[in-house]
């Protein structure tokens, strides 16, 4: 009898801890109106079904998708395809990035910010807020609207999570296996344009 009681208690303890571990928590951010963020709800993101240990943001890291993108009209199809590929092929919980920026500088929410992103390279994305600019900036050029969106979003995130401006970097700063975020985006990190723009917005 004693054995059955202990077994019963054990089952309760195990099921409580797993249900807590698997609970999906989504941190919703309160964006300023002028940032014009297209939320997951607005673009029709599929609800999360899996979870990960959460993290605290202390860095902002820029990416490109590495695939040429000129098809602005089909941007939502592209994002939804990325979501289903991430979940089914890669078995990630979601899109690897927290935000995506299209050719018009529109900002889309991706993976909820409280969960670390994902990567095919060797760096550890825990603590990083990941911003992806859609396209391949080894061959494409970043336009003014995209650059403005990168700076505006980085400034908002830096303030929201107390990230120092010098912690805004590119994927290749953490991994020698990639040229991401591509030459034409990385040059604005290298010449200080992005960090200076973020500082200017924060001081306002």
Site for Zn ion, rule CB under 5 A: 63, 171, 180
- Residue 15 Cβ, how far from Zn ion at the closest point, in Å? 39
Nearer to Zn ion, 40 or 64 (CB): 64
- Residue 34 Cβ, how far from Zn ion at the closest point, in Å? 27
Position of tokens 């009898």? 1
Distance CA 155, CA 32 (A): 11
- Residue 170 Cβ, how far from Zn ion at the closest point, in Å? 8
Considering all CA atoms of the chain, what is the largest pairwise distance in Å, rounded to the nearest integer? Answer: 73
Nearer to Zn ion, 61 or 83 (CB): 61
Total residue length of the chain: 204
E strands, 114-166, are 128-133
Distance CA 194, CA 44 (A): 30
- Residue 180 Cβ, how far from Zn ion at the closest point, in Å? 3
Q: In the structure encoding, which two tokens stand for residue 193, read together? A: 């344009």
Position of tokens 């695939």? 67
- Residue 159 Cβ, how far from Zn ion at the closest point, in Å? 24
Nearer to Zn ion, 96 or 197 (CB): 96
Distance CA 135, CA 127 (A): 24
Nearer to Zn ion, 151 or 180 (CB): 180
Residues β-bridged to residue 64: 133
E strands, the chain, are 37-38, 59-64, 99-101, 107-109, 128-133, 168-170
Nearer to Zn ion, 63 or 111 (CB): 63
């Amino acid at each position: 009898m004693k054995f059955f009681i202990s077994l019963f208690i054990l089952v309760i303890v195990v099921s409580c801890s797993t249900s807590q571990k698997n609970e999906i928590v989504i941190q919703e951010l309160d964006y300023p109106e002028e940032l014009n963020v297209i939320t997951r709800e607005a673009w029709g993101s599929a609800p999360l079904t899996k979870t990960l240990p959460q993290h605290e943001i202390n860095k902002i890291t820029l990416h490109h998708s590495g695939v040429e993108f000129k098809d602005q009209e089909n941007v939502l199809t592209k994002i939804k395809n990325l979501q289903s590929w991430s979940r089914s092929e890669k078995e990630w919980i979601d899109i690897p990035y927290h935000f995506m920026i299209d050719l018009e500088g529109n900002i889309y929410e991706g993976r909820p910010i409280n969960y670390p992103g994902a990567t095919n390279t060797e760096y550890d994305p825990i603590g990083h807020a990941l911003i992806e600019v859609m396209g391949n900036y080894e061959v494409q050029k970043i336009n003014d609207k995209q650059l403005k969106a990168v700076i505006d979003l980085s400034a908002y995130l830096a303030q929201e999570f107390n990230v120092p401006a010098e912690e805004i970097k590119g994927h290749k700063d953490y991994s020698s296996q990639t040229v991401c975020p591509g030459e034409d985006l990385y040059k604005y990190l290298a010449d200080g344009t992005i960090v200076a723009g973020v500082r200017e917005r924060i001081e306002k």
